[in-house]
Amino acid sequence: NAGVMQNPRHLVRRRGQEARLRCSPMKGHSHVYWYRQLPEEGLKFMVYLQKENIIDESGMPKERFSAEFPKEGPSILRIQQVVRGDSAAYFCASSPAAVYGYTFGSGTRLTVV
């Protein structure tokens, strides 16, 4: 069981480009959560997904950010037209059900230059 896999580990994008962050949950986990950790700040919830459904996206910025968790393949967090303020560590976590705790991935560190 490989755990929660996130890739890439580090991603550098120029302002205005798109960033795609991938998260493969643990085997048997159908619930995925994305969190963002800005420099010197705590983790903040972004979105909660189950297979093919967005359950709660109350923490997602209204523009430029989107997330999906297709029937096949990893969950994708997509940031369009990145700006410097998007530079952060993005963590994905998965669980077998909402009532359980979850396992975190190692994160993707996005740097916008």
Site residues for other proteins per CB under 8 A: 33, 35, 41-45, 48, 55-56, 58-59, 91, 98, 100-107
Toward other proteins, which CB reaches closer, 85 or 101? Answer: 101
Q: In this structure, how many other beta carbons lie within 10 angstroms of the beta carbon of residue 83?
A: 12
CB of 78 to other proteins, least distance (A): 20
Give 77: exposed, middle or buried? Use CB within 10 Å, 0-12, 13-18, 19+. Answer: buried
CB of 16 to other proteins, least distance (A): 27
Toward other proteins, which CB reaches closer, 82 or 105? Answer: 105
What distance in Å separates the CA atoms of residue 4 and residue 32, rounded to the nearest whole number? 10
Closest CA to 64 of 8, 6, 110: 110
Toward other proteins, which CB reaches closer, 60 or 81? Answer: 60
